[in-house]
């Protein structure tokens, strides 16, 4: 068993001001630190159903369930007597910085595994696959990329969607006005308020935000995706190969276990804790193949 530890933003700031930032230039041996501290630092976000705070203030989600089992499996594989989890909030724009500074060891959320991202972080075996689409107000009638020609589109800073929207904009000469903001909710709210025509993001996250909104019927997802299916994975520090190897070894055991079906069902076919919504999203063929043969 292990207990949960929460690290607040003030604590992170205090550590940064006290000089922990210097660790950014020094290599961090995560396995060595885990053995000394018996603590795994896990980054989480505000992105249901992957990771978020429920109405009891507990960190929950599909990714979190997997990472809890990851901690248990690492404890066994590394021969530790205990391994606690320290949950650290992260945003799309600071997640790599938190990894590099040692504030988190692994980001247990929903980061897209791309060639560009792999230049700054290691990725664990994929735990989900997404398409990028856009959400718009139903009354606008927007459903395709061509419908957005000359319109404005919001994106969240620090996400791969910024580059994806810019690429589509160039290739299809859509003359879009791209509006970057700090959080997913800000980007969604711009659509709600009519200040942008659309918000581009992973389809499963958009589905959750629509379902959780005050008027779900007021929104529609694009029928045409901006990208092909893309894998999501847990991010780790670049160069921390020994830790990544142990993580993937543990995830292989978890993904191929009978528990994965119930974990998926818990977050995609049942009401989300603290949200009052049910996504009802069947497992994709790509994910089923990945879990059967990681």
Any bridge partners for residue 5, and if so which? Answer: 86
84: Cβ contacts below 8 Å, ≥ 6 apart: 2, 3, 4, 5, 38, 39, 40
Q: For position 26, what pLDDT does the model report?
A: 59
Q: Are 12 and 102 in contact (CB under 8 A)?
A: no
Q: Say whether pLDDT at 93 is over 50.
A: yes
Q: For position 27, what pLDDT does the model report?
A: 78
- Mean pLDDT, rounded, of the chain: 91
Q: pLDDT by residue (tens digit) across 238-283?
A: 999 999 999 999 999 999 999 999 999 999 999 999 998 999 999 9
Q: pLDDT by residue (tens digit) across 24-58?
A: 445 799 999 999 999 999 999 999 999 999 999 99
Q: For position 158, what pLDDT does the model report?
A: 87
Q: pLDDT by residue (tens digit) across 121-180?
A: 999 999 999 999 999 999 999 999 999 999 999 999 988 889 999 999 999 999 999 999
Q: Where are the alpha helices (DSSP H) in 178-293?
A: 184-192, 203-212, 241-255, 259-268, 285-292
43: Cβ contacts below 8 Å, ≥ 6 apart: 88, 89, 90, 95, 98, 99, 103, 104, 106, 107, 108, 109
Cis previous bond, 49, omega within 30: yes
Closest CA to 163 of 204, 107, 114: 114
Q: What is the DSSP string of 25-54?
A: GS---HHHHHHHH-EEEEEE-SBTTTBEE-
Lowest mean pLDDT among 18-27, 79-88, 93-102, 157-166: 18-27
């Amino acid at each position: 068993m292990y207990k949960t530890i929460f690290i607040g933003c003030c604590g992170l700031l205090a550590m940064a001001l006290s000089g922990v930032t210097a660790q950014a230039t020094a290599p961090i041996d995560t396995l060595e630190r885990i053995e000394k501290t018996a603590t795994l630092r896990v980054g989480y976000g505000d992105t249901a159903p992957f990771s978020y705070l429920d109405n009891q203030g507990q960190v929950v989600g599909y990714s979190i369930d997997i990472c809890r089992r990851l901690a248990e499996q690492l404890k066994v594989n590394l021969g530790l007597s205990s391994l606690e989890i320290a949950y650290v909030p992260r945003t799309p724009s600071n997640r790599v910085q938190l990894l590099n500074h040692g504030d988190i060891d692994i980001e247990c959320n929903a980061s897209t595994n791309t060639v560009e991202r792999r230049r700054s972080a290691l990725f664990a075996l994929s735990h989900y696959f997404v398409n990028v689409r856009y959400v718009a107000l139903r009354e606008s009638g927007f459903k395709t990329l061509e419908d957005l020609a000359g319109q404005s589109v919001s994106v969240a800073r620090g996400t791969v969607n910024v580059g994806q929207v810019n690429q589509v904009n160039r290739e299809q000469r859509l003359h879009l006005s791209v509006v970057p903001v700090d959080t997913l909710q800000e980007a969604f709210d711009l659509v709600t308020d009519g200040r942008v025509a659309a918000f581009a993001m992973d389809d499963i996250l958009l589905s959750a935000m629509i379902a959780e909104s005050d008027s779900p019927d007021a929104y529609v997802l694009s029928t045409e995706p901006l990208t092909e299916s893309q894998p999501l994975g847990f991010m780790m520090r670049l160069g921390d190969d020994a830790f990544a190897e142990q993580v993937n070894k543990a995830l292989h055991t978890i993904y191929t276990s009978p528990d994965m079906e119930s974990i998926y069902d818990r977050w995609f076919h049942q009401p989300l804790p603290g949200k009052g919504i049910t996504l009802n999203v069947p497992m994709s063929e790509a994910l089923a193949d990945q879990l059967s043969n990681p």
